[in-house]
Amino acid sequence: MRWINIGLGLAVTGIIGFFVVRELLIDPLYFFELFLGGLTRGSIYALIALGYTMVYGIIQLINFAHGEIYMIGAMTALIVASVLGLWGWNTAVIAILAVVFAIVYSCAYGFTVEKIAYKPLRNSPRLSALISAIGMSLFLQNYVMLAQTPDYLPFKSLIPDFHFWEPYAHIITSVELTIIITTVIVMILLGILIKFTRIGKAMRSLPVMWDRSTFSSDFWQGSKPLSQRFWVVSALSRAQCWDRWYWVFPKAILPDISTVNMKMYLPFPSWY
């Protein structure tokens, strides 16, 4: 059995490797284009996955509504961008405002979801919270489909083509560049937050508190840090809402994002 696994693994890796190398040899430029495209998408998924692991790391709950919070942020950005666009505002201002609004809204949603659906179940069996999370996910999806539309909506790019970037724009576009840089910055900031700040330490300390054999240690103050973590996580999943490729399609994007996240989540190293 083991040899079959290894053999299959090698075969798959070999076939993929063959095409990758062939592509690289035939057209290096195209290869790098694809490579950077993958990196860009990957960094978006990585941020979402970080949010997932943070939540899971604390309450051991797979937050099924995580993708929906992301979608809410994208939706908010889209609405803000469309309205301000109609009013003829400057694109750069629109981009910044859309991001700010998206962050505020998804924070608010993340916070509220936690308050309504997860916090009351903190001392219940895990399955209850899981089902509550699925319920939240379904609710948010359908709510947006009803309140907005279940159809595809185009999201116009808000990032202009940078002048200084022109010579390299055929390899990696301004938008991709922005995404990658933003991701790196956000990840560094998150690392600092988790590692060095009090809230970060509180987050890392929390898992033991959920040891169900006893009550939370008295010196712990309620579940404030937990709510704060949700807040941070939601902001995080939103930090890249202006991504041009995200045609916001509440109907189709969610299964997509959730599956990718689940896959990404499994091998992701924990923060602590």
Residues 6 or more apart from 238 whose CB is under 8 A from it? 69, 70, 73, 99, 102, 103, 106, 107
Q: Is 214 in the site for another protein (CB under 8 A)?
A: yes
CB of 49 to another protein, least distance (A): 20
Q: Is 220 in the site for another protein (CB under 8 A)?
A: yes
Q: Is 204 in the site for another protein (CB under 8 A)?
A: yes
* 51 versus 225: smaller Cβ distance to another protein: 225
CB of 209 to another protein, least distance (A): 9
CA distances 92 to 56, 117, 156, 256, Å, are 36, 37, 13, 30
CA triple 174-190-231, angle to 5 deg? 100
* 126 versus 204: smaller Cβ distance to another protein: 204
Q: Is the dihedral of CA 167, 246, 53, 55 positive or negative?
A: positive
Q: Is 124 in the site for another protein (CB under 8 A)?
A: no
Q: Looking at residues 223 to 252 of the shown chain, list those that interact with another protein (rule: CB under 8 A).
A: 224
Residues 6 or more apart from 251 whose CB is under 8 A from it? 145, 150, 151
CB of 8 to another protein, least distance (A): 37
Q: Which of 60, 142, 149, 217 is in the footprint of another protein by CB under 8 A? A: 217
Q: Are 127 and 240 in contact (CB under 8 A)?
A: no
Q: Is 216 in the site for another protein (CB under 8 A)?
A: yes
Q: Which of 207, 247, 253, 268 is in the footprint of another protein by CB under 8 A? A: 207
**Count of residues near another protein by CB under 8 A:** 19
Q: Which of 96, 138, 184, 208 is in the footprint of another protein by CB under 8 A? A: 208
CA distances 164 to 92, 167, 221, Å, are 16, 8, 51
State the amino acid at position 100 in one-letter form.
V
Q: Considering only CA atoms, which of 218, 244, 215, 240 is closest in space to residue 70?
A: 240
CB of 208 to another protein, least distance (A): 6
Q: Which of 222, 266, 267, 269 is in the footprint of another protein by CB under 8 A? A: 222
Q: Is 218 in the site for another protein (CB under 8 A)?
A: yes
Q: Is 272 in the site for another protein (CB under 8 A)?
A: yes
**Cα gap 116→139, rounded to integer Å:** 12
Instruction: Using only the alpha carbons of the chain, give its radius of gyration.
Output: 21
| Interacting residues with another protein (CB under 8 A) | 198, 201-202, 204-205, 207-208, 211, 214-222, 224, 272
